[in-house]
Amino acid sequence: MAHGTTPPAAAPGPFVHPALFYRGRAQYVAGVGAFVRDALRAREPVLVAVPGPNLDALRRGLGAHTDGAAGADGILFADMRELGRNPGRILGALQEFADRHPGRSPRIVGEPVWPGRTPAEVREATRHEALINTAFAGRPARILCPYDTAALPARVVADARRTHPTLIEHGRDTASPAYTDARVVCADCDVPLPEPAAADLVLDYRAGELARVREHAQAWAHGTALAPARRDDLVLAVSEAAANSLAHGGGSGTLRLWSTDAGAVVAEVHDAGRLADPLAGRRRPPRASGDGGRGLWMIHQLCDLVEVRALPTGLTLRLHMTPGRGPADS
């Protein structure tokens, strides 16, 4: 069975989603600053979600418009290193900002990829960039995504050309000839996950054994470097993933748990399901929606990184938590 429901086909509309290619801090502040000032002149709500150092540079460059209020009187700033630490959380945050301003055309700067992101984070951020086009299709909004072409690998910049309908490069706006349907990009992101050197625990489970999954996860988590509250978060995330397996993944699944050499904790849940809606878990489900992706949403909120693989062999969720970190405010 499928996790989530099939989304409607994307329809043309007033949504604008350009990638801004820049080299150096001066080009960054000039390009992003022009986008923000244009939004302020239009008296539209503005969200700027970029990594901390770039955030500081923009605050200085924008000067008076840094009071932190959203809308015509200022800008709402967010550090993408926290808001988007798990790329699967970003889309929900952008949509919630837009939802707070019905009847308006919100302007958003979102920088989900920056130098220092791990390859796993970059892949999930690329998936996010593609899904923006599906989630905001037909909706009046503008989302600018800066890319540092001097510091990012060429393959990352090439993917940005595939996930953005338009490009801002060398001061010119052009259509991207490489722009690709989100479904194709997401399928390309579904490369097999690397195998761990060894798993500390491997547990097959089936209907009626959810409590057993939680017990094994709790016992194993006690031996990790996670703080008690984060151990509880891990057990909850594993429980939600396993519950999805039982409800949507054929009624059974396999849990694997291990720690990395760097001290991070990884939980992997694999089942025979498929992901019918690639947006499941990335946007907050309505309160009256029953399941409707609520479990996947919670998993994304709890974890520092969620790797998703929808392959012919089934669906795999690989959940990462890093000691010393907690879930971002949501």
127 and 242, same domain (yes or no): no
Domain that residue 236 falls in: 201-321
**Measured between alpha carbons, how far is residue 164 from residues 127, 209, 268, 285 in Å?**
12, 44, 31, 26
84 and 109, same domain (yes or no): yes
- Residue 201 CB contacts under 8 Å (≥ 6 apart), including other chains: 216, 220, 255, 256, 257, 258
| Structure tokens given for 192 | 């097999």
- Residue 97 CB contacts under 8 Å (≥ 6 apart), including other chains: 45, 47, 70, 76, 106, 108
How far the first Cα of the chain sits from its last, in Å, is 30
Per-residue pLDDT of 96-130, as tens digits, reads 999 999 999 999 999 999 999 999 999 999 999 99
23 and 104, same domain (yes or no): yes
Split at pLDDT 50, 70, 90, the class of 171 is confident
144 and 225, same domain (yes or no): no
DSSP string, 18-61: EEEEE-SHHHHHHHHHHHHHHHHHTT--EEEEE-HHHHHHHHHH
Per-residue pLDDT of 179-217, as tens digits, reads 999 999 999 999 999 999 899 999 999 999 999 999 999
Between 285 and 161, the more confident residue is 161
Q: Is residue 194 part of a domain?
A: no
Between 283 and 288, the more confident residue is 283
| For residue 246, pLDDT beyond 90 | yes
79 and 175, same domain (yes or no): yes
Stated as kind and residue range, the H or E segment containing 125 is helix 119-135
Calculate the average pLDDT of the chain.
90
For residue 119, with 0-12 CB atoms within 10 Å meaning exposed, 13-18 middle and 19 or more buried, which class applies?
Answer: exposed
Give me the pLDDT at residue 286, please.
Answer: 81
Contact yes or no for 281/300 (Cβ under 8 A): yes
What is the number of domains present in the chain?
A: 2
- Determine the average pLDDT of the residues in 149-170: 97
The one-character DSSP state at 286 is P
Per-residue pLDDT of 56-83, as tens digits, reads 999 999 885 554 444 334 799 999 999 9
| For residue 326, pLDDT beyond 80 | no
Split at pLDDT 50, 70, 90, the class of 290 is low
- Looking at residue 6, which CATH number applies to its domain? 3.40.50.300
Give the predicted TM-score (pTM) of the model.
0.90
Give me the pLDDT at residue 275, please.
Answer: 87
256 and 288, same domain (yes or no): yes
